Structure 1
Amino acid sequence: MPANNITRLINIALRGLTLASKFLLIFFLARFLEPAELGLYGLLAATIGYALYLLGFDFYTFTTREILKRDRCEWGGLLKDQGALSLVLYAIFLPLLSLIFFKGQLPWHVASWFFALLVLEHLTQELGRLLIAISEQLLASTVLFLRSGIWAVAVTALMFFSPESRSLNFVLGAWTIGAFVALLLGIYRLNQLGIAGWHKEIDWKWIRKGLKVAIPLLIATLAIRGLFTLDRYWFGALAGLDILGAYVLFMGVCNALISFLDAGVFAFIYPGLISAYNKQDSDAFRQGLRKMLIQTLLLTIIFVAVAIVLIAPLLSWLNKPLYLEHQDLFQWLLLATLLYAVGMVPHFALYAQGQDRPIIHSHIASLMCFIPTTWLLSTHWPYLAVPLGLCTTFALILIWKSWAYFVLTPTQYRLLQS
């Protein structure tokens, strides 16, 4: 078997182990913690995930394209510039994020965990993105496994055998250790790559140029990711913290699909789409996009089928009637996730061409669709308002991006072009 195929299999295995670990963790949390505690864990994780964009400003979208265009001797200067921007963003947003606790959106007893995890998650996320961009997918998967996988396995085992470990603080502590170890590995590998240019002075002009590219994309990202944060707060307000625990459980299962597609499909194919378009290789572009579409549809169908079959036995194993009572939430969240997953194919097709405007517009429109739709539905069906709002919104995004791809893509790069 060629070395490239072996590397890809190992990469997918690591990503699969990471997903399995997160899947086990969410189910053991559902079994051993009270639903309200699981709801709080979901709020904390979603808020950290959203705040990451404030610390990074999606600047990697600009840096990635620049790195793929330049020699390795210039990479150090680019990364140094991005680091300087991050320090400025830390100084601005870390104090502002404390308002979450002052306003009572999250309790103070998780504040120290929140800020420690936020910084560690941001640094390891940026390292992972860099490793993927420079075709170090295997190491990126290893970093992700340490960041999101191995500690979850350890926590799951300890919670099963040791009742004393069944607390939210124990889980957050293990998460912090895992992210820190992942950061150390990423830094170690970065030092081995022989990247030059670190002594270059910070180029604020280049940073401003990058911000002009990144900020519109950031606005779009904040809009689309805002859905995955606002939905939890809104659902908790409509249904209560206990039932929010069921929502977090079901959404955790559904998100496994997106994580697996990111690892096994998108991370491998989208850099090639960018390179093919920059080289004006329309055949390679179409071939890569066709492969992305087929693999996305195939994995999505398999995931949905397996999830529908296994969800009832898994909920029965939890031995908590609340989750079984609200199982109908799962089918709507699964549909929303399916629509989101398929919509990522035209998303990457547009991104690879530098066609950022339709991506930005569709993401902003998604939030503008989600808020009024969910509000209207909440007056009649408060329990299902948020899941139905997500389904409507992701259907809109899928249609918008697909239309933009066929309209804006040059004829020779279109998927159906022979």
Structure 2
Amino acid sequence: MKTSIYNIFFRGLTLVSKFIFIIFLGKYSIDETNLGVFGLLSTSIAFLIYIIGFDFYVFNTREIIASKINLVEKIKNQLVFHLSTYLIIIPISLLIVFNLNFIPIRYLWLFLALLISEHLGQELYRLFTTLEKSKIANIMLFIRSGLWIWVVIFDFFILKNQIDLYRYIVIWALFSYLSFLLFFILTIKSIGITKIKYSTPDWKWILSGLKTASVFFIGSLSFQVIQLSDRFMIDFFYGKKLVGIYTAYAQFTNAIDVFTFSAITMVAYPNLLSSFNDKKNYAIIKNKFSKNLLIASITLIALTSIIGPYIFKFLDKKAFLDELPTFYILLTSAFILIMSNVYHYDLYVKKKDKTILKIALLGMVINIILNLFLIPKYNIFGASIATLISFIIIFVLKFYNSKKILTK
């Protein structure tokens, strides 16, 4: 229980820090461009982390939980896999992101450095969580993703330096590498590595992991496309100012999603898994999970819908208030997404991975098509409508398949 409180505290602190940075950047930048550039840079890194990672951790987590024998070899083999994805994915991604001018070329080396440190930091976070050291994992997450923001605030308000997004990204990169270095040292101590020696990669094990992870990867990637790809389309058709507004709105909905996941879904999932063979108990836990999500999401969305406009007014930029319908559509989308988790995890516990995968792929395809039609005509409002429709379809399909399995 104590560990759970620590985890929620540090994850919450990280989330609040990100939220403050978005408000700070929106308030004190000349216009919405800085928010747009930061939104595209952070979105690109988040998206590429998924591609490079390939959800390989899903396979290795299962292997480590099954047996901690040869733990070092398992970690080394996973690292070899990621080095391979670096060599393939990074050159292609840099060409796309910078050649199409989504991100200014001056950020190239910073982008590359952050992509590597953020990915390795994420993998180490997952490893420590698997090794039941989630308290350390969440402290490291805060150092990597939250602490640097307070240095930025100090730089602006106390040192009185001019606002400079490039300098802020440098500070982010420094803290990202600090977190990685601390994580690396703790990893060596935790698993008892006394010396590092070369060994031939176990390609059979790696290929087995690739096959297992591919199903999860396609599902995760589909979801990331729905959540993140619209920013690139908005930038392509309208530029970075509208991306900045959309990024600020999305920060609110993401905060609600992350909070409900950390506080409710992460707690409910193990209970669903352990009680599955007891149908009566499983139904009770599932209903409680659904009720908790419903109460939490409605409460948070109601509060956000009231507080949000006052925050946007504080930013003192008219465009944030002009586009408020988009904000409310995104909040509705967040509610649909959160409630779909009840049926998502129900299907997952029942090992209906292929059903989940098909639904995710369909949702992604529909979202891309809708974005291509709606964004050119209705700008960020069109993007929010595309997201809402995609999540409604995903919710209905998960609900239907969950009930369909139940009646068999």
- TM normalised by structure 1 equals 0.88
Cα distance, 1:52–1:410 mapped onto 2, change above 3 Å: farther
CA displacement at 1:264 relative to structure 2: 2.4
**Paired position in structure 1 for 2:228:** 229
Q: Which residue of 1 aligns with 2:165?
A: 168
SS at match of 1:105: coil
1:187 aligns with 2:180: no
Residue of structure 1 in register with 2:32 after alignment: 35
Q: 1:12 aligns with which of 8, 25, 28?
A: 8
- Give 3-state SS (helix, strand or coil) of 1:384's partner: helix
Change in Cα spacing, 1:383 to 1:92, as seen in structure 2 (3 Å) is: closer
Counterparts of 2:312 and 2:180 in 1: how far apart (Å)?
A: 35
After superposition, give the CA deviation of every residue in 1:236-292 in whole Å (9 maximum; x if it has no partner). Answer: 334432222111111112111122233323344435555666xx5667755654454
Q: Does 1:127 align with 2:124?
A: yes
The alpha-carbon distance between structure 1 residues 96 and 54, as it changes in their structure 2 partners (threshold 3 A), is same
For residue 310 of structure 1, report the CA deviation from its aligned partner: 0.8
Q: Distance in 1 between matches of 2:312 and 2:274?
A: 45
Q: Which moved more, 1:103-112 or 1:41-50?
A: 103-112
Query: Which secondary structure does the structure 1 equivalent of 2:161 belong to?
Result: helix
1:143 has 2:135 as partner: no
Note the residue ranges of structure 2 that are not aligned, 5 or more in a row: none
Tell me, in whole angstroms, the C-alpha distance in 1 between the residues paired with 2:297 and 2:154: 29
**Equivalent residue number for residue 205 of structure 1:** 204
CA contact (8 A) 1:35 1:245 kept: yes
Structure 2 Cα separation of the partners of residues 139 and 345 of structure 1: 29
- Relative distance call for 1:180 and 1:382 in structure 2 (3 A) is closer
Task: Give the share of equivalent positions with the same residue, in percent.
Answer: 27
Residue type of the partner of 1:52? I
Paired with 1:213 and 1:316, the residues of 2 have a C-alpha distance of: 48
**What CA distance in whole angstroms lies between the structure 2 residues aligned with 1:211 and 1:291?**
36
What pairs up with 1:366-405 in 2 under 5 angstroms?
366-378=363-375, 381-405=378-402
**Which stretch shows the higher mean deviation, 132-141 or 245-254?**
132-141
CA distance 1:366–1:195, shift in 2 (3 Å): farther
Q: Deviations over 1:12-61 (max 9, x none)?
A: 11111111111111100101223012111101111111111221111112
CA distance, structure 1, for counterparts of residue 376 and residue 317 of structure 2: 29
SS at match of 1:98: helix
String of CA shifts for 1:54-106, please: whole Å, max 9, x gaps. 211111122222323x2323433322221111111111112222212133332
SS at match of 1:166: coil
2:2 counterpart letter in structure 1: I
Which of residues 50, 55, 80 is equivalent to 1:53?
50
Cα 1:25–1:85 change in 2 (3 A) is same
Tell me which amino acid in the other structure corresponds to 2:171: A
Q: Normalized against structure 2, the TM-score is what?
A: 0.90
Q: Deviations over 1:89-136 (max 9, x none)?
A: 111112222212133332211111111111111011111122223332
Deviation of the 1:145 alpha carbon? 0.9
Greater mean deviation of Cα atoms: 164-173 or 282-291: 282-291
Match of 1:96 in 2: 92
AA in 2 matched with 1:348: Y
